[in-house]
Amino acid sequence: MFDNAYKVFDEMPERNCKRTVLSFNALLAACVNSKKYDKVNELFRNLPQKLEIQPDLVSYNTVIKAFCEMGSLDSGISLLIEIEMKGVQPDLITFNTLLNGFYANGRFVDGERLWSQMVQKKICPDIWSYNAKLLGFALEKRTKDAVELVEEMKDKGIKPSTISFNALIKGFVKEKNLEEAKRWYCEIGNSDCKPDKFTFATLIPFVCEKDDLGFAFELSKVIISRKLFVDKALLQRVVDGLLKESKIQEAKELAQLGNDNSYCRYNPTYGSLQTLDLLALFHLCVSERCWVKWKLPEAGKSKCNIDAACFNLENLSKFGSVLCNDEAGFVCAISGFAHGHHIP
């Protein structure tokens, strides 16, 4: 992506098109989006002088974003100082980028210092500013302060977003407070917001850890019904928990929902095997003590003749000790059975 962008930028003079700060900023943005962070600073320091381009605030903000994303937060502060020394006034985007970087990386005190500096410059914080601070409170396990900040937002006419609620949920999860985490999840539904994949990625492991599998099951159904792309291990954990607690029907339902909605993505490393199918196939055979023939969807380049894989309790009990929760273990076992191989 970046190579193509740079090629176009480089060829502009040949096409009788002058390169200005606009095309320069576009090049910097392409560099950031391609995660070539070191290259951003190199371009920023060398190209303007070479092309007689004067960087503007957008240029500085883009480089600050690169510094923050690569974890060089102090370099971001140095550039902020440089901006002001050159008479360029930072704006809300400048501060929001830095605030998010510092709060998200556990440098709460520095984040607060930046917040004060922003307010002193009469730059009013917006939803992105507050969301950054909410995350900072969450990481500091200061959920009481986070809740008060949400009330402050509402008083100022700033409506909490899904990101705001996610930060609160993260805070209560870090404090191991299940009831409050669940309450704030419900608050998402009471607002105009909707939970996203990050909501579930934060909440489901914690809910499973607390053995609230009924709630985990309901959350999983929401994920599938909304076709949110989450890490496959997230739903695998719910299936594992349900089967461990002998909630066979719920495990079956979750696997079936995944199939009916064409939800689960395939792991290219292991061909057409779906996580929920594999877990259900193995665990249901063991739990229900019956023959199971589970027909898995085709993914194009599967090396395993899954359709021919039939398991019974006697065979599975022999291999139960080697079939762990890692998908590779299941794939190895099923592949061996499918090809008539004996797995010791």
Residue 41, in any domain of the structure: yes
In a domain, 300, yes or no: yes
* pTM for the model: 0.74
Buried residues in 198-207 as b, exposed as e (16+ CB within 10 A)? bbbbbbbbbb
Q: Is it the case that residue 42 has pLDDT exceeding 80?
A: yes
pLDDT of residue 253: 86
Residue 62 lies in a domain: yes
Q: Which of 31, 57, 90 is the last residue of a domain?
A: 90
Between 28-37, 183-192, 251-260, 293-302, the lowest mean confidence (pLDDT) is in 293-302
| 157 lies in some domain | no
Which residues span the domain enclosing 299? 289-344
Give tens-digit pLDDT for 93-114.
Answer: 999 999 999 999 999 999 999 9
- Indicate the number of domains in the chain: 2
In a domain, 81, yes or no: yes
Give domain status of residue 203, yes or no: no
Instruction: Give the range among 6-10, 90-94, 100-104 with minimum mean pLDDT.
Output: 6-10
216-238: pLDDT as tens digits: 999 999 998 888 888 878 888 89
pLDDT of residue 320: 42
At which of 42, 72, 90 does a domain end?
A: 90
Beta bridge partners of 184: none
For residue 138, is it within any domain? no
The last residue of one of the domains, among 90, 120, 148, is 90
Residue with tokens 């971001």: 76
230 inside domain: no
